[in-house]
Amino acid sequence: MGQMDGMVAIVTGASRGLGRAIAKAYAEEGASVVISARSQSTAGLAGTLAETASDIREAGGDVLAVECDVTDESQVNEMVRQARERYGRIDVLFNNAGMMVLGETILDIDAPRWEQLMRVNINGPYLCSRAVLPVMIDQGRGSIINIGSRMATDPEQDGGVLYSASKAAVHMFSLCLAREVREHNIAVNILSPGGLRSEGSAAIPWTQRDWHERVDPSAIGPLAVYLALQDASTFTGQLASRFEFGTTWGPGAEA
């Protein structure tokens, strides 16, 4: 028996890296998983939605793959429609789709690139959350997990004006949304995974200096599963850092 037997989870940005790892972790715990991503990476990174779906099916999991640009409201609504039509419910939304622009100053970043990243990192969680909330409200339960970052709160982490600003917005969006939907027993939390050894990180030259301190995305699986199991009565409106898992939050955490 898995911890998520009978649950349905949507994972965006699931073609590689953290999204793929979380989708596989949910499936391994018994959830039916709806995975989404754009048809191909705008940065040319390896990994496809079909490969993630194949991994899950080969391991005996149940998966529905839907191509979706999270900045396109019609595509988001169609993804949610397909999920509900196939499974009848949506218990978890893991908003993983995102972009990074690091090591560049405001003068390096033109307006179209600023707007593109903001659409993905902020509009994406907004559109996906707005689409699934009516389903979760009808159910009287749900869990929304948004990806945060230490760069959202600490300028010394060198996130830069664009990425750090986008993640700070995600943090506040999540905390305010948690208050809005608490009465419907829906949890909204921020997961800050820390440095990862992902395809995206490998493409950033300066990440090599702390590569030995980074973890494989699969290490975040237990954290994401724990958050998926929460509702507003147990754990919501929190910034959940990987470095504090098991101490201030998660199984065995201090009361």
Average pLDDT over residues 84-89: 98
Question: Does residue 255 fall inside a structural domain?
Answer: no
Predicted pLDDT of residue 47: 82
Model pLDDT for residues 206-240, shown as the tens digit of each residue: 455 554 566 899 999 999 999 999 999 999 999 99
CA atoms of 239 and 146, how far apart (whole Å): 10
Range of the domain at 106: 8-244
Mean pLDDT value of segment 180-191: 98
Q: Is this structure's pTM higher than 0.85?
A: yes
Q: Tens digits of per-residue pLDDT, 6-50?
A: 999 999 999 999 999 999 999 999 999 999 999 765 555 668 999
The span from the CA of 190 to the CA of 42, in Å, is 25
CA distance 149 to 152: 5
Instruction: Establish if 58 belongs to a structural domain.
Output: yes
Q: How many domains, in total, are found in the chain?
A: 1
149 found inside a domain: yes
Percentage above 70 pLDDT, the chain: 89
251 lies in some domain: no
Given the residues 26, 87, 126, 163, the one annotated as active site: 163
What's 113's domain CATH number? 3.40.50.720
Domain for residue 168, yes or no? yes
Mean pLDDT, to the nearest integer, of 174-182?
A: 98
Residue 250, domain member (yes or no) = no
Q: What are the angstrom distances between the C-alpha of 243 and each of 81, 136, 223, 255?
A: 36, 30, 11, 17
Q: Is residue 163 annotated as a catalytic residue, yes or no?
A: yes
For residue 1, tell me if it sits in a domain. Answer: no
**Residue 18 maps to a domain:** yes
